[in-house]
A and B are shown apart, each in its own frame.
Chain A
Amino acid sequence: MARTTIFSAKTPHLLLLLAVFACFFLQECSNDKRGVKTALFEVSDFVPITNWKQETALDSMQVKYQVKYIELDYTDALGGFVIPSVRQLNNGFEYTFRIKNLSAASRVFSYKIYYQNESYKMPETDPEKPEAEGPWAWENFYGSFDGNDIGFLETPPIPADGKFHEVKGYIRITGNPRNEAKFFKDGVNDRWKRNPRVGLYSFMLVVSDKENIAQKQIPDYISHIALTFNDRFVNPYYYFLYGPGKKLQNTSAIKMDNALKVVAKPNLGGGIFIDFEDNNKAAVNFTDNCGRSPEITRNACFRQFQHYVDASSKFDNIPVIKDVVGDDYTLMEYNWNKSFFTKEELIRTWPMVAREACKTVISDSKENKLILINPASSYGDWKKQNAGVITRHGFSFGTYTVKAKLTRLLSNSGVWNGIVNTIWLLNQSNDAWNNRRICQKEGYLETYWGGPNDKRVPSISYSEIDFEILKTVPYCPPHSFPPAYLPSMQDKKNMLSWHTPLPEELEQQKEDIVVACTNWDMACWEPKNFGAGCQPISYKDQTFYSHRWDHWYRAITQKSLEKDKELFAGDYYYFQIEWKPTEIIWRIGPEKDKLRVVGYVNNTVTSIPNNQMLLIVTQEFHNSKWWVGTPFQQQFIPFPEKDIKGEIFEVIIE
């Protein structure tokens, strides 16, 4: 009888396959985010949030799943956001996990729950040395419990009965979770100076033998995140998932990714706070929804923005008042007005800031929108006055999406009305607490306004990320800049002397405006591809050209041509700045799910800010000398005959 055997020549292959499969399976089991086993205990069913029901869909790796979703509570949040607020959940998020005592006797175990913002983090490990902590992992926004830095908690005694026992508690995400001294003022923890970041959060449950804590097997600076090691914070995620903590006996770390999505939706109809004095007359103009009432002072998400205007911004404007867009101001009108006034007839002016509070910014509580108004001029009351709003709560990083209908910029004949539509981020404070990361190579140029001989300093607080949309010309490619403009003469008897056409390529761009995307990096030379001129950078299937005037220029700009009517003649348009730790992406589009990239930079070409910034939306006037090569000079554009209105319908920071 032939011997039946399950073993054949193919058997080793099959066994190998089985072994691989088993390893994989076991690996997955051992990495099961909900459970882990050590010699002393087994942990399972870690749920970081049990008592918050709101969810949202998340697309990740082409798989859709639900995550907990919470919007920041702006009530009384000037002191710092708390997630969840007491109004949202009185005690905070309830977490649970189950633990089984595998030892011989009843035992107390130590545990701690950490959280970390995953959307805007630096890698926990060093890309070049995976066992080492990432050089900027300490900058990540992470914390534990409710910001009081209480170290590890203890479970109640867990009987050695072979059964799982539930442990639960509460956790909140707060600002300045490490209680860093630099964010204190006069003994008070200004948690708002390091607000929680928006985006996705993970939670990490670490369970350990109590002895590990007592004998400091887990260092103090990991148990207590407020402590430092060699004057530096150590990221506990790195420690437990990749570093020494991974090898600790009787210690387990379970990370729940994408456990929570935090979104900020400042209330546009919630009023506008006024913080400036206009000769003590501001109160006269206050309304129910604009001013300094106690309610607005505490809870308004926006305040009226006042630009800083330098004296060098002055220009001598033609004394003409016209509705450029509404009355279809033509090139001929522009050229005539440019040529045929005398100096005595001009009006010395500059981009003005609001003279009266609440007149040029309105928070509409019924339609939940903000309205910006550049006011009309009249004879004797000429003004090119900026209008804008700024948020009052700062964030580090985030994806800022603004839905707005801002003013059109061009007449149908293609002449610019002088307005720059801007959506931008600006550093929340110039104080040292808001300093950027140190620039390793020679430092930053110290001031915004200084020239190339400005002092270099290791760190500064100035940061700015801009959308500026106006009529100008791209700087790149370099062989087409600047355009060769025909000069104009004042010969009435030959109209071609003063009515000079635009260069042909600009005539073809008559309906176009430029979307300029800028990062102010204060000329930090650290990025490996820092350079001047036009430099290409690729993002996915697009190539963008970044322009920097020279090695001492404090900003890098990318420009693209878009249609004025498309962006500003419809009911609204979307503008998005995605500010991440190592890159910035600018997007625009007719709907939020139809955005296209119009600008991209990363830390190889520019220093990405990491401090806290505020969002500003303005309609403002610029001196044309800030935009070299612009076909229409600000001083030759009429003062506005009618109010120029813009509306903001939605701001989401996520």
Chain B
Amino acid sequence: MSRKKLLFYFSLLLLLIVGALITRHYYKKIKGKLTLIEATDKSVASLADDYYTQRDGIIYYDFETLNGTENLYEEMSHSGKYSCKVFGNNSFSPIITKRVSEIGKNRLDRAGISAYIYVFPKDAATLKASLVFSITDNKDNNIVWKSVEIVSAYFKPGQWQKVSGAFDIDTASIPEGCVIKAYLWNDSKAQILIDDIMVVTGRDQPFRGDTTWCDITGNEVWQQNTGHPPYPFVYLNTLTPNNKTSSSLSGNNKLSDEILIDSRSVCAGNFYNPANNRDKVLALHEDSLYAYSYCDNNNTFTCDFQTVLKPEDSIWLTSRFLPARYCGKATDEILLQDTASKTLALYYIGNTTAGTCSQKPSLLKTHCLWKGNYTFFSLNGKTPVSFWPVYLTPIKKTSLLCIYDDGHWQVFEFQKSDWASVAKSNKPNNTWNQSEYTYTLVGGCFTSFAKSPQLLSIATSRKNKQSEYHILSFDTRNNTFNTVYPKTTSDNNKTTNADAFSTYFTLNVTGATVNTLLKYDDSWRFDLKLLSFLENTLTVKYNLDFKGYDNHYNPKYYENTVFLTGAFTNAGITSLLTWCYNNPENKNQSLLPDALYLFSFQNPKN
């Protein structure tokens, strides 16, 4: 090899070594300056809007807790006290990280990133930066790299501006153990501040269900498919005229307002002053019971009585309330069912006089008529799995239907001071067999030819998830249930969109000979439907919605919507007292304040 060539290769080698050393130096410099911040919910978002901390799939960082690093900038921020400076060529903001496993890979099919950026006027003309969203594997290789480019042609210096972008991502390319990273990379001399960096992941959850039933893009006029959506809407209308929430619904004092609206254990019945034939409300709040009635003068519920529960009455605190006219007297009693201790107690309200519209509540007198446990109601050695207060005869006295796990049943009446069995099954009702079905019962009048009260039983098979219904009436001569419908095995008694998992209640509506049957389901959404027997299928006829509520705060938007039916304002006409509230731990009170409404209903004209 010639001397010249030797010199050339030596120089080249030297150049390579020097280049490598320089690169290594700057790489260390950059890497050393890269601050990684793991985005955990509370630690990094201490000053952030609660909204962002409560939502899954959101990474949010406002640099308020980045103490002690030289990147923190105190003189200017978009929110809070601090922002982060990203000054000069090839500089980086702290990298906000979150493990993919914490977000969920299924959420990463789409991601959006945003931040607030401030560019100082000096060298702003050279601005070239990227707001980066990346996903790296456990070896720090970029699996996904997306960016929002920020250049001087479009960016005005000297003011905070929001930068954002959104990207589709191929989640199939993301292996296990990856990390999401969000940061700003400044590839220019410009001096940049960044604040309030946020990453959102995921798409809107798609609609449930298979396909639409209704297509109006053809030439034919649309005909409703009986029992299938879309259903027309009918409305529950408020009875409260001032369109205010609980402060107008509960009239006598502020303390009462808060109690009624906050009460979660409530029941309705004609507990006192039976002469006005109106239902009153009994509400449990903390360790006290309160009794309310509707005051026509100011269209509010007034607290008539209240009491602090004594220790011997502590069963009130742990029980489900089952009000009914068990004794056959003028007033209703309350059967308390404590499922934890498997005990029951029957109480009545001893107060006899109270005008409505009381200015100040008097002492509530509760008296226990009977107390016992489930074994009292045993049949063939089994205790009931469910208790149902039911009207079985035209006589205004409620019986207690006890159902056992094998489908057998027994009817009790409260006679004088004790429960007496008045009827029991010879053979079990198959649709009440707990191992085969889930069932629910609702009493009322469901056929126009009914001579006595009826019981509607809706059962859903555990095996095939199909639902069916039976209308029963009680044969007092034979002390057994007769099936009003279906009459034969070939009769259609299917249900559509009505199963045993929903709550059913009936309304007495002006001018109606049969009860209006409503179905309420809040398992995944507020869903209130009016049911009807269409060609003998029990199915949905209408959607129910509300009118007259305050400020667009529709009761169906709340995390919890609780109904209490009763004839509160008119004898024999049912209205719905409706509690609307959000879960306190979700801190959404400012979005939807707790509300209490009284709704009425008119049957739609068919």
Please determine whether chains A and B interact with each other in the same assembly. Answer: yes
User: Contacts A487-B200, A490-B524, A494-B586 given: A480-B162 contact, CB under 8 Å?
Assistant: yes
Cα–Cα distance between A534 and B155 once the two chains are bound (Å): 12
Q: Is A13 an interface residue (CB 8 A)?
A: no
Q: Are the C-beta atoms of A484 and B552 separated by less than 8 Å?
A: no
Partner of A336, one of B163, B222, B557: B557
When distances are taken between beta carbons in the complex, the residues of chain A under 8 Å from B222 are 380-381
When distances are taken between beta carbons in the complex, the residues of chain A under 8 Å from B525 are 339-340, 490, 492
Q: Are the C-beta atoms of B200 and A345 separated by less than 8 Å?
A: no
Partner of B557, one of A342, A484, A499, A501: A499
Q: Are the C-beta atoms of A344 and B559 separated by less than 8 Å?
A: no
Q: Are the C-beta atoms of B217 and A348 separated by less than 8 Å?
A: yes
Cα–Cα distance between A380 and B224 once the two chains are bound (Å): 8
Q: Are the C-beta atoms of B217 and A349 separated by less than 8 Å?
A: yes
When distances are taken between beta carbons in the complex, the residues of chain A under 8 Å from B559 are 492-495
When distances are taken between beta carbons in the complex, the residues of chain A under 8 Å from B102 are none
Cα–Cα distance between A339 and B208 once the two chains are bound (Å): 10
Cα–Cα distance between A345 and B558 once the two chains are bound (Å): 21
Cα–Cα distance between A505 and B229 once the two chains are bound (Å): 38
Q: Which residue of A lies closest to B582 (CB)?
A: A495
Q: Are the C-beta atoms of A344 and B148 separated by less than 8 Å?
A: no
B122-159, CB < 8 A from A: 131, 148-151, 153-155
Least Cβ–Cβ distance between A313 and chain B, in angstroms: 9
Q: Are the C-beta atoms of B200 and A484 separated by less than 8 Å?
A: yes
Partner of B588, one of A476, A480, A496, A501: A496
Q: Which residue of B lies closest to A328 (CB)?
A: B552
Partner of B554, one of A336, A344, A481, A489: A336
Q: Are the C-beta atoms of B164 and A503 separated by less than 8 Å?
A: yes
Cα–Cα distance between A477 and B153 once the two chains are bound (Å): 9
Q: Which residue of B lies closest to A349 (CB)?
A: B216
Least Cβ–Cβ distance between A337 and chain B, in angstroms: 10
Spot the interface stretch: B53-61, B299-307, B411-419: B53-61
Q: Is A159 an interface residue (CB 8 A)?
A: no
Q: Are the C-beta atoms of A484 and B207 separated by less than 8 Å?
A: no
Q: How large is the interface on B (under 10, 10 to 19, 20 to 34, 35 or more residues)?
A: 35 or more
Q: Are the C-beta atoms of A346 and B212 separated by less than 8 Å?
A: yes
User: Contacts A336-B556, A343-B211, A479-B163 given: A488-B204 contact, CB under 8 Å?
Assistant: yes
Q: Is B88 an interface residue (CB 8 A)?
A: no
When distances are taken between beta carbons in the complex, the residues of chain A under 8 Å from B208 are 342-343, 490
Q: Is B113 an interface residue (CB 8 A)?
A: yes
Cα–Cα distance between A495 and B557 once the two chains are bound (Å): 7
When distances are taken between beta carbons in the complex, the residues of chain B under 8 Å from A345 are 209, 212-213, 229-231
Q: Which residue of A lies closest to B199 (CB)?
A: A484
Q: What does the 1/0 interface line of A374-405 toward B look like (CB < 8 Å)?
A: 00000111110000000000000000000000
Q: Are the C-beta atoms of B154 and A479 separated by less than 8 Å?
A: yes
Least Cβ–Cβ distance between A168 and chain B, in angstroms: 61
User: Contacts A483-B166, A484-B166, A495-B591 given: A338-B552 contact, CB under 8 Å?
Assistant: no
Partner of B214, one of A328, A346, A504, A534: A346
Q: Is B198 an interface residue (CB 8 A)?
A: yes
Q: Are the C-beta atoms of B552 and A495 separated by less than 8 Å?
A: no
Q: Are the C-beta atoms of B230 and A319 separated by less than 8 Å?
A: yes
Q: Is B453 an interface residue (CB 8 A)?
A: no
Cα–Cα distance between A321 and B215 once the two chains are bound (Å): 16
Cα–Cα distance between A349 and B202 once the two chains are bound (Å): 27
Q: Are the C-beta atoms of A344 and B209 separated by less than 8 Å?
A: yes
Q: Which of A328, A348, A479, A499 has the most CB of B within 10 A?
A: A479
When distances are taken between beta carbons in the complex, the residues of chain B under 8 Å from A477 are 154-155
Q: Are the C-beta atoms of B209 and A492 separated by less than 8 Å?
A: no
Partner of A486, one of B55, B231, B552: B55
Least Cβ–Cβ distance between B144 and chain A, in angstroms: 16
When distances are taken between beta carbons in the complex, the residues of chain B under 8 Å from A348 are 212, 214-217
Cα–Cα distance between A545 and B154 once the two chains are bound (Å): 9
Cα–Cα distance between A487 and B108 once the two chains are bound (Å): 11
Q: Are the C-beta atoms of A484 and B113 separated by less than 8 Å?
A: yes
Cα–Cα distance between A101 and B582 once the two chains are bound (Å): 101
Least Cβ–Cβ distance between A535 and chain B, in angstroms: 9
Q: Are the C-beta atoms of A496 and B112 separated by less than 8 Å?
A: no
Q: Is B486 an interface residue (CB 8 A)?
A: no
Cα–Cα distance between A477 and B117 once the two chains are bound (Å): 14
Cα–Cα distance between A489 and B202 once the two chains are bound (Å): 10
Least Cβ–Cβ distance between A377 and chain B, in angstroms: 10
Q: Is A294 an interface residue (CB 8 A)?
A: no
When distances are taken between beta carbons in the complex, the residues of chain A under 8 Å from B229 are 319, 342, 344-345
When distances are taken between beta carbons in the complex, the residues of chain A under 8 Å from B203 are 487
User: Contacts A340-B526, A382-B216 given: A347-B230 contact, CB under 8 Å?
Assistant: yes
Least Cβ–Cβ distance between A533 and chain B, in angstroms: 10
When distances are taken between beta carbons in the complex, the residues of chain B under 8 Å from A489 are 205
Q: What does the 1/0 interface line of A466-482 toward B look like (CB < 8 Å)?
A: 00000000001111111
Cα–Cα distance between A33 and B151 once the two chains are bound (Å): 55
B535-564, CB < 8 A from A: 552, 554, 556-560
Q: Is B165 an interface residue (CB 8 A)?
A: yes
Least Cβ–Cβ distance between A502 and chain B, in angstroms: 12
Least Cβ–Cβ distance between B220 and chain A, in angstroms: 12
Q: Are the C-beta atoms of B207 and A341 separated by less than 8 Å?
A: yes
Q: Is B583 an interface residue (CB 8 A)?
A: yes
Least Cβ–Cβ distance between B545 and chain A, in angstroms: 9
B258-302, CB < 8 A from A: none
Q: Are the C-beta atoms of B114 and A536 separated by less than 8 Å?
A: no
Q: Is A485 an interface residue (CB 8 A)?
A: yes
Least Cβ–Cβ distance between A252 and chain B, in angstroms: 54
Cα–Cα distance between A491 and B523 once the two chains are bound (Å): 9
Least Cβ–Cβ distance between A473 and chain B, in angstroms: 10
Q: Are the C-beta atoms of A487 and B202 separated by less than 8 Å?
A: yes
When distances are taken between beta carbons in the complex, the residues of chain B under 8 Å from A379 are 232-233
Q: Is A603 an interface residue (CB 8 A)?
A: no
User: Contacts A344-B210, A487-B202, A487-B204 given: A333-B554 contact, CB under 8 Å?
Assistant: yes
When distances are taken between beta carbons in the complex, the residues of chain B under 8 Å from A488 are 204-205
User: Contacts A343-B207, A487-B203, A495-B588 given: A482-B552 contact, CB under 8 Å?
Assistant: no
Partner of A485, one of B166, B230, B231, B524: B166
Q: Which of B162, B202, B582 has the most CB of A within 10 A?
A: B162
Cα–Cα distance between A328 and B553 once the two chains are bound (Å): 12
User: Contacts A482-B165, A499-B591 given: A332-B557 contact, CB under 8 Å?
Assistant: yes
Cα–Cα distance between A190 and B593 once the two chains are bound (Å): 70
B207-260, CB < 8 A from A: 207-217, 222, 224, 228-233
Least Cβ–Cβ distance between B176 and chain A, in angstroms: 23
Cα–Cα distance between A341 and B148 once the two chains are bound (Å): 35
Besides the contacts A336-B557, A344-B228, what 16 more A-B pairs have beta carbons closer than 8 Å? A319-B231, A339-B525, A345-B212, A346-B230, A349-B216, A379-B233, A480-B162, A483-B114, A488-B205, A490-B205, A492-B522, A495-B557, A495-B559, A495-B586, A496-B51, A497-B55
Could you give 10 example pairs across A and B, Cβ below 8 Å? A336-B554, A341-B207, A347-B215, A413-B552, A480-B162, A481-B164, A484-B165, A487-B57, A490-B524, A495-B588
Top-6 shortest CB links A-B: A484-B112, A343-B209, A477-B154, A319-B230, A342-B209, A340-B525
